[in-house]
Structure 1
Amino acid sequence: MKLIIVSGLSGSGKSVALHTLEDLGYYCIDNLPAGLLSALALELEQAAKPVEKVAVGIDARNLPQSLQQFNDILDKLKSRGISNEILFITCDPATLIKRFSETRRRHPLSDTHISLAEAIELERQLLEPIARRADLFIDTSQTTVHQLRDMVQQRVERREDNHLSLMFQSFGFKHGIPGDADFVFDARCLPNPHWRPELRPLTGRDEAVAQYLGNEAQVTAMVDNLTAFLDTWIPAFEADNRSYLTVAIGCTGGQHRSVYLVEQLQHYFRTRYPNVTTRHRELP
């Protein structure tokens, strides 16, 4: 049985992730009391027709003591030979406040005595035991609903068992550093195609930009250094039984240099690892 635990902050996209998994054939249960997780797994295993793929939503609506005992609950599952992955959806507080204000929804932890900002911080603290054990973080601060669905499909559902899921992501520093990256590299020191009028409207995926950057010694040196570094350290993450690894590369606007570098790394590592995906955060 493949068990995925979906958790995260209210308003960050947990329901979207769970519905995506349901569309992919998972037996889904939302807002399950954490203390019932072991009993649920046992019942599904012993069913007349065993369920192969299960996704469970666990959030801050749980009893606080259940969340505090989350490590013990997972250890009990592991002792019974039930493997699991934890997908944790997060988002920055300012974006969450904006989302709740626009939809006029009430945060599940807010009331007449607790403001929305305080409820968000309280929820983050309550879910810390789950966040510490998460296999994959997805930060939706600058992610649309459609992008989140695509990421869940690419990273969770399409990941081959026992193989690392490796994502290369480009971004623009002026739009903020992604909060879900394991490695962040800065490409702003490289020659910038933005200052070439004929290249400005293009992206790092266009041939003209690729030729320009590919002819720059600094750019080729950075590509070589990044591939050498990751070739050395990705196996260490695999040996530590990591299921997911995200490498983010940023430039000023996330249009040229970072996109080109991500494309180069994706081309290099896709022949070495079966689960390699890319995301260009600032491109349509």
Structure 2
Amino acid sequence: MRLIIVSGRSGSGKSTALDALEDSGYYCIDNMPAGLLPDVAERVLIESELVQPNVAVSIDARNLPSHLQRFPELLAELRSRNIRCDVVYLDADEESLHKRFSETRRRHPLTTDSRSLSEAIRDEALLLAPIIDLADLTIDTTALNLYQLRDILKLRLLDQPEPGTAFLLESFGFKRGMPIDADVVFDVRCLPNPYWKADLRDYSGLDQPIIDYLSGLPDVEEMYQDILAYLSKWLPRFAASNRSYVTVAIGCTGGHHRSVYLANRLGQALKPSLKNVQTRHRDLD
């Protein structure tokens, strides 16, 4: 059995995530009391006609605080039964969450006559802290539309070619902020920037003119070899510590040239040894 537990602050995209999982064949339960997790898993195992049933549940701050505090022991109980559990936490910055509620005119579940929307958004993170601490995969939805969120869920959760740790090589641009889900970050802004060459500016790091230009620079090759040596040594150690997901973020200024080139090249070099290697270019998507 595979169980995906989706959590996150209200407005972060939990409903979109459940819809995407349902479209992929998961039986989905929204706003489930955390205390019922073991009972639901047992019932699914007993009654399901599938050899490997897939279930996804959403757990949010509408739960009883006592149930949320018990989440670590509930998760441990599930895993002790050899149930594969993935805890996915969605979040966005407070400004974006505030804007989403204002635009949709929805009422935040924690707002009261004495608690403002801003206070409810902040308090929600405190209530969900036991889940945040145990999240296998954190996704920042601040800059994502629903289609991009669906694509990321498919890439990270559903498109793993083999069991084991799923590694993501992600390029990004510092001018749009660092990915909050990054486990390891490399800053490659010190390398020559193709943006300042008029004949290269409109290409990306996936295009041959950029590849030819960057691959011919000694500093770029040295940076590539250093990062590859580090990742080749240490990513297997991450896997040995039973991490389900590891994100390696590589950033340049705009996220179009240097970081894209290096993330793509590193991903190709690491695939033969690590198997579950995926590549994503945040600011090209």
Short-chain TM bin: over 0.9
Instruction: Give the RMSD, CA atoms, in angstroms.
Output: 1.3
The equivalent of 1:256 in structure 2 is 257
Report the identity percentage.
Answer: 51
Pairwise CA distance, 1:283: 1.3
Aligned mates of 2:282, 2:12 — CA distance in 1:
17
The equivalent of 1:127 in structure 2 is 128
Aligned mates of 1:18, 1:63 — CA distance in 2:
21
Given that residues 32 and 57 in structure 1 are in contact (C-alpha distance below 8 angstroms), is that contact kept between their aligned partners in structure 2?
A: yes
Instruction: Structure 1: give runs of 5+ residues left out of the alignment.
Output: none
Distance of aligned partners of 1:48 and 1:14 in 2 relative to their CA distance in 1, 3 Å threshold:
closer
The equivalent of 1:20 in structure 2 is 20
1:65-104 mapped onto 2 (5 Å cutoff): 65-104=66-105
SS of the residue corresponding to residue 272 of structure 1 reads helix
SS of the residue corresponding to residue 271 of structure 1 reads helix
For 1:228-254, what per-residue CA distance to the aligned partner results, in whole angstroms no more than 9, with x for missing partners?
000111111111111111111111111
The equivalent of 1:174 in structure 2 is 175
Given that residues 91 and 140 in structure 2 are in contact (C-alpha distance below 8 angstroms), is that contact kept between their aligned partners in structure 1?
A: yes
For 1:192-214, what per-residue CA distance to the aligned partner results, in whole angstroms no more than 9, with x for missing partners?
10110101111111111111111
The equivalent of 1:190 in structure 2 is 191
Pairwise CA distance, 1:48: 5.6
Stretch deviating more after TM superposition (47-56 or 176-185): 47-56
Given that residues 162 and 243 in structure 1 are in contact (C-alpha distance below 8 angstroms), is that contact kept between their aligned partners in structure 2?
A: no
1:100-249 mapped onto 2 (5 Å cutoff): 100-160=101-161, 162-249=163-250
SS of the residue corresponding to residue 47 of structure 2 reads coil
Aligned mates of 2:242, 2:115 — CA distance in 1:
40
* Pairs aligned (count): 284
Q: TM-score, normalised by structure 1?
A: 0.96
SS of the residue corresponding to residue 226 of structure 1 reads helix
Aligned mates of 1:41, 1:249 — CA distance in 2:
38
Moved >6 Å (runs of 4+): none
SS of the residue corresponding to residue 3 of structure 1 reads strand
SS of the residue corresponding to residue 188 of structure 1 reads coil
- The residue type equivalent to 2:158 in the other structure is E
Pairwise CA distance, 1:269: 1.4
Pairwise CA distance, 1:75: 1.9
For 1:162-216, what per-residue CA distance to the aligned partner results, in whole angstroms no more than 9, with x for missing partners?
3221111111111111111111111110001011010111111111111111111
Aligned mates of 1:177, 1:78 — CA distance in 2:
32
Pairwise CA distance, 1:160: 4.4
